[in-house]
Amino acid sequence: MKMMAARFALCVHVARAATWSPKRVLGHGLARSLSSDTDFSGIKERTLVAVKPDGVQRRLIGEVIKRFEQRGFRLVGLKMLQVWEGHNVVRSSRMLVGDTDPAEAAPGTIRGDFSVHISRNVIHASDSVEGAEREISLWFHRSELIDWEGCDHKNIYHII
């Protein structure tokens, strides 16, 4: 986990140094307008994800981050909560997380793999775009959300 935290800190430092400007910082879950060369509706959609206390106690934070990164989403805000950004991220994160009731959650989902009871279902993810915007604004100030783009971004979204 220390290695992942160090990697994230380094990536954030590099991203801030390379792209910092007040206009590039996104605030409160609101999408900035995209230029015509990257016009792909929903790329800037955001969602709030929280690993619940039972997930933290079981040391699942790294696994949650890994699954979202593997899906191609960008981590743009991190405290003990996470803000993820990407195309259809709210709906996709609900699929990654799985049904609220672990007994109904499909294998391969976070809850399907790691939860055993509805009262200990490991993770919270926003249920709608509007809910995500509201939840993000409760926990993060716009200056705490980083606007960055990985070298694989254009490949993931097939942007030329």
Return the number of other C-beta atoms located less than 10 Å from residue 75's C-beta: 18
Q: Is 158 a catalytic residue?
A: no
Which of 87, 124, 141, 158 does the annotation list as catalytic?
124
Q: What is the dihedral of CA 50, 64, 89, 137, to 10 degrees?
A: 20
Count Cα neighbours of 136 within 13 Å in the Cβ-side half-sphere: 31
**Single-letter amino acid code for the residue at 17:** A
CA pseudo-torsion sign 73, 74, 75, 81: negative
Q: Which residues are catalytic?
A: 124
